[in-house]
Amino acid sequence: MSDPKVIGLNGFGLEVPDLDVAAKFYGAFGLAAERRGEVLALRSPGRPGDEALIVRGPAKRLHHLSFVIRPGDEGAFTEKLGKAGLKVGAAPPGGARAGLWFQDPWGTWINLCPGEPPQSPAAKPPAGRQDVHLWRELNRDPKPARIGHVLIFTPEYPRAEAFFAQVLGLRTSDRATGKISFMAAGDGVVDHHCFGLVPSTHRGFQHASFQVAGIDDIGFGVWRMRSAGYGESFGPGRHALASNLFHYIRDPWGSWVEYYAEMDRISAQWETRDWSELPYVWGPAWAPEFWGKEMNGNFEPK
Ligand SMILES: [Fe+2]
């Protein structure tokens, strides 16, 4: 039996005090929301599965991570997790996802869900611009196409990177030395990252990011959020590592959600490297306090 590996990101879960606050925020962001008892299920419109599950809790807190595995790999993963000292068992309350559930060494619930990894939506053909009012043609209410990545905080940065690489089969695509590790999943040509780790005092949710078609969709999305009262944001810009266009919007609990487009795609030829470049090649005025504290502050209880 070959070594099982996760093949993509499936989604994440958050605990928050008020599900109605979450429904309003993520609804304005463009996700389709469905209330199922004590769970708020969110997905990019048209996606076949739930990308985020929001459950009630005393404070905002990372509830779980969910990765896609190949159907039929459940047994091999159960065995591999057992060898790593991790016990596969019942889902935590609110963990309404199929597949395997276990807790990582830092207490975060992880779900391994059999299925197909999400594909990147096909790029739009270039618009014929002659004799066209482009501004009238634009989709002014664009919605996310799919979840692209989640970054979490970790209290044991190198050890956590080794865990996600060795036990789950993610591979590090790039590191901002000492600050972030970006990790990719799957075979063939894949997104530069679907997951990432940021060192901190304790585990936690840093941001989730959803793919849109391009800079206009990012702009209209941020406009829609601002109109809905969510005006605190960081962007737009183009990241250095992964090269994606970005704009982050602060969520009601101090962490972030991001619209992104145009991320680098990588193959088996890609070499992992360490970088000391700024997080972005163009973007908002550089504010070390903002980037260091507001953007990367771990605003959740231990
Ligand atoms: Fe991101």
> pLDDT of 65-96, one tens digit each?
999 999 999 999 999 999 999 999 999 999 99
pLDDT (tens digit per residue) in 102-131? 999 999 999 999 999 877 776 666 667 888
* pLDDT value at 213 more than 70: yes
Write the single-letter amino acid at 97. R
Ligand 1 centre to CA of 258 (Å) is 6
Q: In this structure, is residue 162 part of a structural domain?
A: yes
Q: Are 149 and 208 in contact (CB under 8 A)?
A: yes
- Which residue, among 244, 238, 176, 181, has the nearest Cα to 209 in the 3D structure? 244
d(CA 131, CA 123): 23
Return the pLDDT at 287: 87
Read off the pTM. Answer: 0.96
Q: In this structure, is residue 135 part of a structural domain?
A: no
For 28, the domain range is 6-118+143-295
Return the pLDDT at 150: 98
| Strand-strand pairing, 265-266 and 190-191 | antiparallel
Q: In this structure, is residue 76 part of a structural domain?
A: yes
Return the pLDDT at 31: 98
Q: In this structure, is residue 136 part of a structural domain?
A: no
d(CA 249, CA 240): 19
Count structural domains, the chain: 1
Ligand 1 centre to CA of 78 (Å) is 30
Ligand 1 centre to CA of 191 (Å) is 12
Q: In this structure, is residue 199 part of a structural domain?
A: yes
Q: In this structure, is residue 289 part of a structural domain?
A: yes
Q: In this structure, is residue 147 part of a structural domain?
A: yes
| DSSP count for the chain of H helices, then E strands | 6, 19
What is the domain-level CATH number for residue 20? 3.10.180.10
Ligand 1 centre to CA of 235 (Å) is 12
Q: In this structure, is residue 138 part of a structural domain?
A: no
